[in-house]
Amino acid sequence: MAHHHPENDSKYLGLNVNKGITRPPSINPYLRQVRKDYRKIYTAQEYAEGILKGDIAVLSQAVTLVESSKPEHQVVAQAIIEKCLPASGKSIRVGITGVPGSGKSTSIDAFGMHLIEQGHRLAVLAIDPSSERSKGSILGDKTRMEKLSVDKNAFIRPSPSAGSLGGVARKTRETIILCEAAGFDYIFVETVGVGQSETAVHSMVDFFLLIQLAGTGDELQGIKRGIMEMADGIIINKADGDNIDKAKMAARHFKNALHLYPLSESGWSPEVLTYSGYYKIGIKEVWNMVHRFIDFVKESGYFDRKRNEQSKYWMYETINERLKNDFYRNPFIESLMPKLEADVLSARKSSFVAAKEALDAYYDQDN
Amino acid sequence: MAHHHPENDSKYLGLNVNKGITRPPSINPYLRQVRKDYRKIYTAQEYAEGILKGDIAVLSQAVTLVESSKPEHQVVAQAIIEKCLPASGKSIRVGITGVPGSGKSTSIDAFGMHLIEQGHRLAVLAIDPSSERSKGSILGDKTRMEKLSVDKNAFIRPSPSAGSLGGVARKTRETIILCEAAGFDYIFVETVGVGQSETAVHSMVDFFLLIQLAGTGDELQGIKRGIMEMADGIIINKADGDNIDKAKMAARHFKNALHLYPLSESGWSPEVLTYSGYYKIGIKEVWNMVHRFIDFVKESGYFDRKRNEQSKYWMYETINERLKNDFYRNPFIESLMPKLEADVLSARKSSFVAAKEALDAYYDQDN
């Protein structure tokens, strides 16, 4: 293939065969236009007003916009969130995790109804980046929360459908803001306890509750390492009938184990309780524990400090995710990385030289 | 201030008062030139040859180049590393952590001499990003390792001086490659057990050893949460004289606690042993444990799988660190972030809108 070299042509790019780096699209490319567009602003305003009045249908539609990956939906979603932000933050946010089989849905149903009976309103959200692949491994079937699913003071929302953990978590965190603005004063965020999602949940809740079962230790294999150390409370489910003694013994073991743990940043010593989600035994005690914790951290100032840290965390996390996505989804980098991985794995290149080559290629494309 | 609007001037940048984004300097800007420069290649070659012959003086100078932040040193250092890479990877890499006062130096001295007596050669490295500030809190004083410090089969190197954890860890990982090429078949990487460094160490070693003391539980407060879950072995020091019973009881407690932990990815159940670094009691048993582990994971294939994962990890980690550094050290972003943080903390902006503003500002500068 012959090359024409029009050196005086200002568009000549020399031997650079790579197309210029694609400037990544911003999340809301139409934001400025939309702000000038009265009708669409009014729509976001309508959404916000509906949410602030506690209209569940409007809230539900707004969450759909938050979950949408269409840029035009994201524009409206972000505008709604900004409007709801001043009315948010007033709930108690509780992360609930436990492996499949631990009785999570039944427990959430019992916990939720207990709170609703006390006059509260509850939103149950979920983070499960695998939910599409596994056809909704959690919260796919609302009816598993028998009572909550038909109570007007409960709002149940399955996990946003599959995507990167960062993306799914961002959507759930934004949904928390909308639910709080709609007057829900308790937010549960459920995860399945076997993946990476727990760190994300931990960074958006006030209290992290781990559901366990009594047993020979086998059932623990399902829980990912590190999760136990995040827990502010460990609760042993199915402490009923013949199982009470086993559950109490498990609780003692966990208590001893927690004793060996360093004190958490909050200064709170995680508690271990037994209960039965199915027979509604010990439910009140679980929530007394959560409230003792909330009182303790509000008193010490840790509550606000952690909320602030979480807001900052999500700002930086969003930036970092985007920087990485822009890099790794760059077509040239996408084609380069498998070769560099192979070079590193065969010790032809050090990790650092391979990294440098990728970075140089990325920035060079740009010039 | 009046603006001149020369619309036909191709250099006119509108109201954009920001200078174009500074293209970040590459790590080795002179790499290509140097490769053409026979004399300098020869120097890297000489270094590599000296290292491969096991010349400690040459190794020591090469590590100094690795630790240097001068670009011209980094060029030579990377060339040396590439040449040493094929001869690396043959050691057993052990991370050793424990709070100050746990007897880490005495233990390393005893462990190291035990290995040297078996005919091995040992390099002791360290990761302590705070070492400059704290005037060398670990390995600052080589003489604390009385015997190793005067043994020709040992190479002791203090932590690279202060810098980002990423930078310090990178230098230590590169030094491992050079030490292995120089024939050291055991590498210890020491950390102080109270910071973030343990994750970095964990991602460059085969076995992670946690030194603990018997006691009332208070001494555990110093160990950061999550470290216990990384340990492949927990060893209780100072199991001598009157302290033996206390140490054995502590070991039992740790064993019970570990029982409640989920199985580690390697399939290995972490072991708990007592020993005395000072009186050289139980040293052999500690190393029998390490070797049992190594046999176990070599048999299962986990050893190679983990090494490969680590190589890839460091490539991606280096890229991600650099992308973040380029962003956050950009002067315009540096001045913008405090304002955005304040907006997020006062709930004037959501975390995501603030992140988007920062990213748009960053990319816009570039155009």
Write a three-state SS string for B21-76.
CCCCCCCCCCHHHHHHCHHHHHHHHHHHHHHHCCCHHHHHHHHHHHHCCCHHHHHH
pLDDT band of residue A11 (cuts 50, 70, 90) is very low
Q: Distance (Å, rounded) from C-alpha A180 to C-alpha A188? A: 12
Contacts of B338 in chain A (CB under 8 A): none
Nearest to B78 among A82, A353, A363 (CB): A353
**DSSP conformation class of B161:** P
pLDDT one-digit tens code per residue, A35-55: 343 334 458 999 999 999 999
Question: Are residues A352 and B314, on separate chains, in Cβ contact within 8 Å?
Answer: yes
pLDDT band of residue B143 (cuts 50, 70, 90) is low
pLDDT one-digit tens code per residue, A70-128: 888 988 999 999 999 999 999 999 999 987 778 899 999 999 999 999 999 999 998 87
- Which of B21, B350, B359, B360 to substitute to test the interface with A, most A CBs within 10 Å? B350
Q: Looking at CA atoms only, how far is residue A216 from chain B in angstroms?
A: 10
Contacts of A344 in chain B (CB under 8 A): 311-312, 315
Q: Looking at CA atoms only, how far is residue B156 from chain A in angstroms?
A: 23
Q: Please say whether the beta carbons of A213 and A147 come within 8 A.
A: no
**DSSP conformation class of B182:** T
Q: Distance (Å, rounded) from C-alpha A67 to C-alpha A78? A: 11
Per-residue pLDDT averaged across B167-189, rounded?
Answer: 94
Contacts of A264 in chain B (CB under 8 A): 225
Question: Are residues A359 and B322, on separate chains, in Cβ contact within 8 Å?
Answer: yes
- Of A216, A180, A204, A192, the residue nearest A88 (C-alpha): A180
* pLDDT above 80: residue A21: no
Q: Distance (Å, rounded) from C-alpha B164 to C-alpha B196? A: 11
- Which of B30, B34, B259, B260 to substitute to test the interface with A, most A CBs within 10 Å? B260
* pLDDT above 90: residue B256: no
Contacts of A21 in chain B (CB under 8 A): none
Three-class SS state of A273: strand
Q: Distance (Å, rounded) from C-alpha B195 to C-alpha B223? A: 8
Task: Evaluate the CA torsion angle B45, B51, B55, B61 in order and state its sign.
Answer: positive
Query: Which residue matches tokens 């580690």?
Result: B264
Give residue B2's pLDDT: 41
Cα angle B290, B264, B177; round to 5? 50
* Rounded alpha-carbon distances, angstroms, from residue A104 to A131, A246, A280: 16, 19, 13
Cα angle A339, A344, A347; round to 5? 125
Q: Distance (Å, rounded) from C-alpha A337 to C-alpha A67? A: 30
**Of the candidate ranges A166-170, A216-220, A226-230, B21-25, the one whose mean pLDDT is the lowest:** B21-25
- Of A64, A265, A360, the residue nearest B319 (C-alpha): A360
Per-residue pLDDT averaged across A323-348, rounded?
Answer: 92
Task: Kindly indicate whether the ipTM for this predicted assembly is greater than 0.90, answering yes or no.
Answer: no
Closest residue in B to A265 (Cα–Cα): B225
Distant-in-sequence, close-in-space partners of A283: CB < 8 Å, separation ≥ 6? A110, A111, A114, A275, A277
* pLDDT above 90: residue A282: yes
Give residue A194's pLDDT: 61
Contacts of B214 in chain A (CB under 8 A): none
Distant-in-sequence, close-in-space partners of A340: CB < 8 Å, separation ≥ 6? A349, A354, A357, A358, B315
Give chain B's mean pLDDT.
82
Nearest to A363 among B23, B308, B314 (CB): B23
Tokens of A29: 């490319």
Q: Please return the burial class of A190, using the count of CB atoms within 10 Å of its CB with bins 0-12, 13-18 and 19+.
A: buried
Q: Distance (Å, rounded) from C-alpha B131 to C-alpha A338? A: 37
Radius of gyration (Cα) for chain A, nearest Å? 25
Q: Looking at CA atoms only, how far is residue B113 from chain A in angstroms?
A: 31
- Which of A99, A352, A356 to substitute to test the interface with B, most B CBs within 10 Å? A352
Q: Please say whether the beta carbons of A143 and A45 come within 8 A.
A: no
Question: Are residues A262 and B345, on separate chains, in Cβ contact within 8 Å?
Answer: no
Three-class SS state of A9: coil
**DSSP conformation class of A221:** G
Nearest to A225 among B262, B327, B354 (CB): B262
* pLDDT above 70: residue B9: no
Q: What are the backbone dihedrals phi and psi of residue B159, each rounded to the nearest 5 degrees, phi first?
A: -60, 140
Beta bridge partner(s), residue B209: B96, B233
For β-strands B207-213 and A92-97, DSSP reports them as unpaired
Domains assigned to chain A: 26-86 (1.20.5.170), 88-300 (3.40.50.300), 313-366 (1.10.287)
pTM: 0.71
A55-82 CB burial, b ≥16 within 10 A, e <16: ebebbeebbebbbeeeeeebbbbbbbbb
B308-319 CB burial, b ≥16 within 10 A, e <16: eebbbebbbbbb
Q: Pick the more confident residue, B75 or B95.
A: B95
- Of B179, B133, B130, the residue nearest B159 (C-alpha): B130
Question: Are residues A353 and B224, on separate chains, in Cβ contact within 8 Å?
Answer: no
Contacts of B349 in chain A (CB under 8 A): 82, 85
Q: Looking at CA atoms only, how far is residue B151 from chain A in angstroms?
A: 30
Contacts of A254 in chain B (CB under 8 A): 260
- Half-sphere exposure at residue B95, Cβ-oriented, CA atoms within 13 angstroms: 29
* Rounded alpha-carbon distances, angstroms, from residue B93 to A210, B204, B223: 35, 8, 22
Contacts of B177 in chain A (CB under 8 A): 350
Contacts of A26 in chain B (CB under 8 A): 356, 359-360, 363
Per-residue pLDDT averaged across A198-222, rounded?
Answer: 78
Give residue B54's pLDDT: 94
Total residue length of chain B: 367
Contacts of A319 in chain B (CB under 8 A): 327, 355, 358-359
pLDDT band of residue B294 (cuts 50, 70, 90) is very high
Q: Distance (Å, rounded) from C-alpha A307 to C-alpha A93? A: 10
> For chains A and B, what is the number of CB pairs under 8 angstroms?
192
For β-strands A233-237 and A271-274, DSSP reports them as parallel
The letter for the amino acid at A226 is: G
Distant-in-sequence, close-in-space partners of B10: CB < 8 Å, separation ≥ 6? none
Give residue A193's pLDDT: 64
Per-residue pLDDT averaged across B212-240, rounded?
Answer: 76
Give residue B13's pLDDT: 39
Q: Distance (Å, rounded) from C-alpha A268 to C-alpha A297? A: 8
Question: Are residues B174 and A353, on separate chains, in Cβ contact within 8 Å?
Answer: no
Distance of CA B313 to the CA centre of its chain: 12
Q: Distance (Å, rounded) from C-alpha A99 to C-alpha A107? A: 13
Q: Distance (Å, rounded) from C-alpha A76 to C-alpha A82? A: 10
- Of A320, A316, A328, the residue nearest A355 (C-alpha): A328
Question: Are residues A26 and B360, on separate chains, in Cβ contact within 8 Å?
Answer: yes
Question: Are residues A345 and B312, on separate chains, in Cβ contact within 8 Å?
Answer: yes
Beta bridge partner(s), residue B95: B189, B208
Question: Are residues A225 and B229, on separate chains, in Cβ contact within 8 Å?
Answer: yes
